Amino acid sequence: MAGEMNRGGSPGGRSASAEWLTLGQAATYLGVAQSTVRKWADAERLPVFYTPGGHRRFRRNDLDEFVGTSRGRERPVVLIVDDDAGLRAALRTSLESDGIEVREAANAQEGMAALEDEPPNLVLLDVRMPEMDGWEMLSLVRERHGVEAMPVVMFSGSENGADEAEERGAQAFVGKPFDPEKLLASTRQLLKR
């Protein structure tokens, strides 16, 4: 059954069993975390069916429709650049549950490469990273893309940086005590502009 449920398959020409995906398969199909798919299903944004054993199942047609409506081209894209994988995952889950597409980079070099591939609507940028820090990346972003073209929200475990962030062209700074909810609120506010 799993072999019949590959992403490239067309639901129209397959048997009824091939149209159903598990939670993990649905997450892979949509390119998001399983926890995000759970949240969308629990919030009734994404249709879900339950097996007699209580397991979630998703119809491929419903996922395709969801992609076409909720995740269309007008969906904002946020790039998270941070060397802390746990923090990136937590931010990703929260942003994706708001319908925001998220891309990640584990360091500034990966972040710059991601910007060149497809510019996001907003960048969440950690100040403290190895090799190239967030301030250096912010300077490169401003040189290549301009101050207004791409909003950047800087964040750090340090309380100092708000003035420097403003001087260097960042739209916001979230510092110590670090509050992920404050970072998410700044992100949502800037994406609404």
When comparing pLDDT for 145 and 34, which is higher? 34
Look at 3-12, 114-123, 140-149 and tell me which has the smallest mean pLDDT.
3-12
Share of the chain residues as helix, strand and coil, in percent rounded to the nearest 5: 50, 15, 35
Torsion, Cα 96 102 106 112, to 10 degrees, reads -160
Q: How confident is the model at residue 46 (pLDDT cuts 50, 70, 90)?
A: confident
When comparing pLDDT for 65 and 102, which is higher? 102
In the prediction, which pLDDT does 108 show? 93
Q: Give mean pLDDT, residues 83-103.
A: 89
> Please, what is the end-to-end C-alpha distance for the chain in angstroms?
45
CB 119 within 8 A of CB 86: no
In the prediction, which pLDDT does 18 show? 56
In the prediction, which pLDDT does 11 show? 38
Domains in the chain (CATH in brackets) are 13-69 (1.10.1660.10), 77-192 (3.40.50.2300)
Mean pLDDT of the residues in the chain: 80
Which three-class secondary structure state does DSSP give residue 66? helix
pLDDT in tens, 159-182: 777 888 888 888 888 886 667 788
Whether the predicted model's global pTM rises above the 0.85 cut? no
Four-residue CA torsion sign, 141, 147, 150, 153: positive
